[in-house]
A and B are shown apart, each in its own frame.
Chain A
Amino acid sequence: MDARITLHVDGDERPLTLDTRVTLLDALRDRLSVTAPKKGCDHGQCGACTVLLDGRRTLSCLTFAVAQDGAEVVTAAGLASYDGEPHPVQRAFLENDALQCGYCTPGQICSAIGMLAEAASGHPSHATPELADAGGRDGPGGGPGAPGGPDGARRTTAPVVLDDAEIRERMSGNLCRCGAYVNILAALRDHGATGVTA
């Protein structure tokens, strides 16, 4: 059954008519020729299809496009500045040789940008100490309805500093079958330690 929707993809308004069965990933790749997000497993297990959906990292293979009518989608192809300068996270991947075949890379980069925004907003991970143990991590201004953090991640507590354990845990949803993890970690380490988010 056809549905008429509009997606905002990498800054462009993209109206389209599609079958309700089309996932967001297939809409991007096959209907709109936005091929940065990749189809790895198509079952939400590999992270290759990760995009920023209304500012938050999301698996585009596990949502129907029709359910995202009106959404803002940013893929790895939409991250460069207007004059073509790569995003700092893309630059860090290049400088640290954080890829081999490159298939998982667009998903890794979108995921990393989502991760930086989440950490800046104080979102914990499984590697983050509990508040009671953290002694003073609990910053002011938290609570429901607190102002939104960067890129849509809701500010709740003080920013989380991303050490290696944090980065590993927070990037565990993105698999790399070439095993470039060591250099992906290196690429993200500088950003995490300095709290750079963009």
Chain B
Amino acid sequence: MIPFDYRRPGNPAEAVATVIDHEGAAFLGGGTNLVDHMKLGITEPRMLVDVSRLPLDRVTETAGGGLRIGATVRNSDLAAHPWVRRNCPVLSRALLAGASPQLRNTATVGGNLLQRTRCPYFQDLTTACNKREPGSGCAAIGGYNRDHAVLGASEHCIATHPSDMAVAMLVLDAAVVTLGPGGERTLPLAGFHRLPGDAPHRDTVLEHGELITAVELPQLPFARRSAYRKVRDRASYAFALVSVAAALELEGGTVREIRLAFGGLAHKPWRARLAEEALRGAPATEESFRHAADVELAAARPRDGNAFKVPMARNTLVSVLRGLVNGAERVRTDRTEEDR
């Protein structure tokens, strides 16, 4: 690890100015990913600008009935937040499916969005990786690619994005608030992470010195009926092979509104808009769910090691939606009994 200078600015504007003024400077949040990458030599910042103690640790309800989550809120605190558990269980469940309790106590919301791929070649300096070293090639193509992308990949990179939290936030129509050289801006989360294309070294659309200050969730009443399912190699403390986030609103036996996203399938959390479109107004049946999944996954281009992900994604999606429908039926039955 190369020597680095350490700064702890007093406010977000000072943090941004410090990073902009120093080439090779990086923001430090909880550090659970960055510190490891510095040990491995994947990244070599010459200055760390510690933003973990900035006053960005509040969770507040917005005037519009949504939620504003400060960027330095710890993953564990967000998962435990009563508003989140009540109004969008998908987010609490996704957070709790990620990492370990120790890591969730340290990791921040902003840092979670910026964590980098767990592709083994990205972490191994002796191999080719366009994300780590642009132009060096991709060892995963033709190599070990069981964990890799089946949607939206390019000939330059087939890495996946590892976040669970971001997949849930995607179905909640979240927006990312940043402070940068050009002032404050708000970006839809759906446009925050990039597909690899020919520049896989860029995970997001953030500019150098641009700091995430908050994530905003709009009011989405039907997200009370939402779920997150993570399929992984062991029951806890493992990254997703496939994950599904879903929120569902039914009207009788018909899908009135729906939000769907996949994790583990692409270079970014994958909003399944084609499947959503196929389901809006359709009967809430297993047949429709399977059809919608097939529509979304028609574009899948699996590699040697990860063809299993396509049926796994389809079956997980169907299973999650079936669970949400059954939950809805249970709620309706309960209410009827109460009415009597």
- A118-B101 contact in complex given A23-B35, A123-B80, A154-B80, C-beta closer than 8 Å: yes
A-binding segment of B85-93, B134-142, B214-222: B85-93
Assess whether B106 is in contact with A156, with CB atoms less than 8 Å apart.
no
CA distance A144 to B86 in the complex (A): 14
How many residues of chain A are within 8 Å of chain B by beta carbon? 47
Assess whether A57 is in contact with B236, with CB atoms less than 8 Å apart.
no
Interface string of A16-53 (1 = CB under 8 A from B): 00011101000000000000000000111001001000
Answer whether residue A143 sits at the interface, using C-beta atoms and an 8 A cutoff.
yes
Which of B1, B59, B106 has the most A CB atoms < 10 Å from its CB? Answer: B106
Contact of A63 among B3, B79, B106, B237 (CB under 8 A): B106
Assess whether A44 is in contact with B80, with CB atoms less than 8 Å apart.
no
Assess whether B103 is in contact with A21, with CB atoms less than 8 Å apart.
no
CA distance A19 to B92 in the complex (A): 38
CA distance A135 to B81 in the complex (A): 17
B49 to chain A, nearest CB (A): 11
Answer whether residue B77 sits at the interface, using C-beta atoms and an 8 A cutoff.
yes
Assess whether A156 is in contact with B80, with CB atoms less than 8 Å apart.
yes
Answer whether residue A191 sits at the interface, using C-beta atoms and an 8 A cutoff.
no
Assess whether B236 is in contact with A168, with CB atoms less than 8 Å apart.
yes
Interface residues of A in 114-154 (CB under 8 A from B): 114-115, 118, 121-126, 128, 130-132, 138, 142-144, 154
Interface string of A157-198 (1 = CB under 8 A from B): 100000000001110111000000000000000000000000
Interface string of B208-248 (1 = CB under 8 A from A): 00000000000000001000000000011100000000000
Assess whether A123 is in contact with B76, with CB atoms less than 8 Å apart.
yes
Contact of B36 among A43, A57, A131, A170 (CB under 8 A): A43
- A44-B36 contact in complex given A57-B102, A118-B101, A156-B81, C-beta closer than 8 Å: yes
CA distance A131 to B92 in the complex (A): 11
Assess whether A124 is in contact with B102, with CB atoms less than 8 Å apart.
no
- A138-B105 contact in complex given A19-B3, A172-B237, C-beta closer than 8 Å: no
Answer whether residue B308 sits at the interface, using C-beta atoms and an 8 A cutoff.
no
Query: What residues of A have a CB within 8 angstroms of the CB of B79 in the complex?
Result: 123-124
Contact of B6 among A67, A121, A132, A157 (CB under 8 A): A67
Assess whether A154 is in contact with B102, with CB atoms less than 8 Å apart.
no
Instruction: Return the chain A residue nearest B36 by Cβ.
Output: A43
Query: What residues of B have a CB within 8 angstroms of the CB of A170 in the complex?
Result: 101
CA distance A59 to B79 in the complex (A): 19
Assess whether B50 is in contact with A67, with CB atoms less than 8 Å apart.
yes
CA distance A130 to B92 in the complex (A): 9
- A156-B89 contact in complex given A58-B102, A66-B6, A111-B101, C-beta closer than 8 Å: no
Q: List 30 A-B contacts (CB under 8 A).
A: A1-B4, A44-B32, A47-B100, A47-B102, A56-B105, A57-B105, A59-B32, A59-B103, A62-B32, A62-B103, A66-B6, A67-B8, A67-B52, A115-B101, A122-B80, A123-B80, A126-B93, A126-B97, A130-B92, A132-B86, A132-B89, A144-B58, A144-B59, A156-B80, A156-B81, A157-B80, A157-B82, A172-B237, A173-B100, A174-B100
A residues contacting B by CB (< 8 A) are 1, 3, 19-21, 23, 42-44, 47, 50, 56-59, 62-64, 66-67, 111, 114-115, 118, 121-126, 128, 130-132, 138, 142-144, 154, 156-157, 168-170, 172-174
